Chains A and B, each alone.
Chain A
Amino acid sequence: MLGQLGDDAKLLAGGQSLIPLMKLRFANPAHLVDLNFISGTSYIKQDNGTIRFGALTRHAEIEASPLVETIPILHDCAAGIADVQVRNRGTIGGSLAEADPSGDWATVLFTLVADVRCIGANGERTVSVSDFIKDAYTTDLAQDELVSEVEVKIPPKGSSGAYLAFKRSAPVYPTASAAVQLTMEGDVCQDAVIALGCVGLTPIRVKDAVSAMRGQPLTEKTVASAVEAARAAADPQSDMRGSADYKRTLVVALVKRAIDIAVRRARGEQGNAGHIYA
């Protein structure tokens, strides 16, 4: 059907971004295809060391799911996206397919082994989340494809993460965000992934931070070089949410704090992360 409707068709998932965009006439689709009447598209399942999310699984369902407790960074994300009302409607598949540079899910999934399942007239295919997000508002989806599922590998023991997003108030997109996933063995960091959100056209994986941390004890100095690498990797734009300098400073604080929480969680301790707003 999407093939027949052509470029003028838009898919409606949770609608929490698309409907406001249509009201502003930023999106003006000739055909709007509501996916919400397709049954069996909202689920959270655990098998073979992965957790699979149906494309139309609402943020609120992920927030409430006990399965997500094994990957705390997913809970950090789901529990703080916009507000209760938006989380009751908005979906993980819709958020990824929209690929808003300020969206939360892509940034968080960049730190995990995560795949996006795409389905179309020619069948199904799986693409890693980093290959799926091509550019701002641009994904790897063909015009006649849609997201059917998101699959996340459960990280090994000793691995944990934290997501911190700073926003001016609950309903708005974050000003900047940082996702950190660390694998610890004692005080030594075996592996690390740091991704930054809202400070580039797509989430940014901080490669230099990984080389600074991998195989190293996480001393103040190691953390400082990882944080400095994040500051350098951020490529923010000045806009109504803040100047580029302000956002870079924010990234420094968020990454530092997220590393601290991820380390504590990897040790089995508690740590509060998520969205920060007044």
Chain B
Amino acid sequence: MSESIENISIQVKVNGKSYSRSVEPRKLLVEFLREDLDLTGTHVGCDTSYCGACTVLMNGAAVKSCTVFAVQADGTDILTVEGLEKNGELHPIQKAFGDCYGLQCGYCTPGLMLSALQLLSHNKQPTENEMRKAIAGNTCRCTGYQNILKAIHVAAESMKGA
């Protein structure tokens, strides 16, 4: 059925760097990031649009990259977990997740940190309910979420000055 489908050229900025690539139209954004760009920090958890492990920011908005086609990212600005660290310094959210033990196995952590980043970029001082709502699309099967909420709170405090 798809024999005659040609690749499509896309231009996408990922973590500040521009890429031009030719991709299969059916390729998902998460596969493009992991396989074509070798950015394997974005994880595939459920692959059914449930768990949020594949969350990245697309033009500043959190999306599940397993539920967006790579061709739909044409012309957009993507931020993955690899883009959080700046000049060898961890992002305040990364630091807070570590300091607060906001992770155990770490599989869901990249997605959670990007959901937290979308929240904190619009809301400098979120309430606990706002934090819970912001990460409701990210499943963690280790922590029980308490330390993740603590981490987001600590990150919010340390990002206030920034």
Contact = CB atoms under 8 A, between A and B. Distances in A.
A, B assembled together? yes
A276 interface: no
Interface stretch (B10-18, B43-51, B85-93, B97-105): B43-51
A232 interface: no
B72 A88 contact: no
B84 interface: no
Interface stretch (A14-22, A121-129, A193-201): A14-22
B55 interface: yes
A36 interface: yes
Nearest to A82: B137
A39 interface: no
Nearest to B2: A30
A277 B1 CA distance: 41
A38 to B, nearest CB: 13
A86 B61 contact: no
Contact of B72 (A23, A36, A60): A36
Contact of A89 (B28, B52, B67, B71): B67
A19 B48 CA distance: 9
B55 A34 contact: no
Interface string A27-53: 000101010100000000000000000
B52 A15 contact: no
A15 B136 contact: no
Interface in A86-112: 86, 88-89
Contact of A85 (B28, B47, B71, B137): B137
Interface residues of A, number: 23
Contacts of A169: 136
What is the size category of the interface that chain B forms with chain A?
Answer: 20 to 34
Interface in B26-78: 28, 47-52, 55, 58, 61-64, 67-69, 71-72
Contact of B47 (A23, A32, A88, A171): A23
B55 A85 contact: yes
A244 interface: no
Given A15-B69, A170-B137, A277-B136, A85 B50 contact: no
B62 A85 contact: yes
Given A82-B137, A89-B67, A16 B62 contact: no
A104 to B, nearest CB: 15
19 contacts: A16-B49, A20-B48, A20-B49, A20-B67, A24-B48, A60-B61, A83-B138, A84-B62, A84-B115, A84-B119, A84-B133, A84-B134, A85-B55, A85-B62, A88-B58, A171-B49, A171-B51, A171-B52, A277-B136
Given A20-B49, A30-B1, 10 more contacts: A19-B69, A32-B25, A83-B137, A84-B133, A84-B137, A85-B64, A86-B137, A88-B62, A88-B63, A172-B50
